[in-house]
Amino acid sequence: MYKPSMLKRCFTAICFSPVLLAGATEAAGDTESPWPNGAEVAVVLTYDDALDSHLDVAIPQLDKLELPGTFYLSGARPSMRIRLDDWRRAAERGHELGNHMLYHPCRKSVANRGWVKPWQDLDNYTLDQFVEEAKTTNSMLQAIDGETQRTFAYPCGDMQAGGKDVVPALQALVTGARLFSADGQHKVDNPDFYRVASFDGAEKSGAQLISVAEAARENHSLVSFMFHGVGGDYITVSEDAHRQLLEYLAANPDHYWVATMREAVAHLKGVQGGAGSGSR
């Protein structure tokens, strides 16, 4: 399991930016932190769709700074067939492999979804079909990393299959599930772990990404980032912006506990008095 890096370097492009330091110069409030080692914020870095740029860019950047990521994999993606050994090695190095369904099903009825094929249209799924595909994806991922507990990311953020809410069924299959929101924050007292917020990092600068993490310090929140392409593929964040965020987090371990989604949810459940299951 990765632990926050103890790097104390100051990255000039980041540390001396007035915008980025605006929140850092003020204390994060008098509330006691719920996070390990007194960190003010829990940060989860998530990556969707099992893309080549995750293996070629994101994971090397994470590994260099000893930070963990959560990779939500869709089993039918080409990299799952062609680069399975690479994903297994990523899991061995402490990265979480999460459930993003086999076929990345989405609701075609939503605007701008012309790319959704009939066979992956969630509007035409039954709830049983959704559950079986999620179970199959869990089994596939267990064969890769040996883990029995899993978190989930809703493809396209869709939470219905055939008009039915999938959340009650998911609660028996995964320990938490990720959505997206404007600020990416999940408050410490929020008991709903099947709507964990995340911030969409696509096309954002390093300064913008860091400001999202800084904003979470006031609330001691769990803040998540959602990435697709990193320096390539689609819905992309630049390689440089992604690296700036990672370097900032690694240089400030007193402020930020960087964890996988599975670890963060398990810890927060424990804080709230729940079972806290799901940690590696």
Residues recorded for the chain: 280
Q: Tens digit of pLDDT for each residue in 98-120?
A: 999 999 999 999 999 999 999 99
Assign 66 a pLDDT band (cuts: 50, 70, 90): very high
At 176-203, the pLDDT tens digits run 999 999 999 999 999 999 999 999 999 9
What pLDDT was estimated at residue 255?
97
Confidence band (pLDDT; 50, 70, 90) for 28?
Answer: very low
Q: Which of the four pLDDT bands, split at 50, 70 and 90, describes residue 212?
A: very high
| pLDDT(55) > 70 | yes
Across 7-36, average pLDDT: 48
16: pLDDT strictly greater than 50:
no
Question: Mean pLDDT over all residues of the chain?
Answer: 89
What does the pLDDT read at residue 237? 98
Q: Residue 3 above 50 pLDDT?
A: no
Is 80 exceeded by the pLDDT of residue 278? Answer: no
pLDDT at 273 over 60: yes
Q: Is 0.75 topped by the overall pTM?
A: yes
pLDDT exceeds 50 at position 277: no
pLDDT at 17: 40
* Per-residue model confidence (pLDDT) at position 31: 64
Find the angle CA(57)-CA(87)-CA(241) to the nearest 5 degrees: 20
Instruction: Convert the pLDDT of each residue in 242-252 to its tens digit.
Output: 999 999 999 99
Where does the pLDDT of residue 263 fall: very low under 50, low under 70, confident under 90, or very high at 90 and above? very high
Helices (H), the chain: 12-15, 18-24, 52-53, 59-64, 78-82, 84-92, 127-145, 167-170, 206-215, 239-251, 261-271
Q: How far apart are CA 191 and CA 123, in angstroms?
A: 28
Q: What angle do CA 123, 226, 33 make, to 5 degrees?
A: 120
* Average pLDDT for 152-171: 97
Model pLDDT, residue 7: 36
| Alpha-carbon span 186 to 11, nearest angstrom | 28
Residue 74 has pLDDT above 70, yes or no: yes
| pLDDT tens for each residue of 77-98 | 999 999 999 999 999 999 999 9
Domains and CATH numbers, the chain: 35-270 (3.20.20.370)
Q: What is the pLDDT of residue 26?
A: 43
Q: Each residue of 112-161: pLDDT tens digit?
A: 999 999 999 999 999 999 999 999 999 999 999 999 999 999 999 999 99
Residues 33, 34, 38, 43: what is their CA dihedral angle, to the nearest 10 degrees?
-100
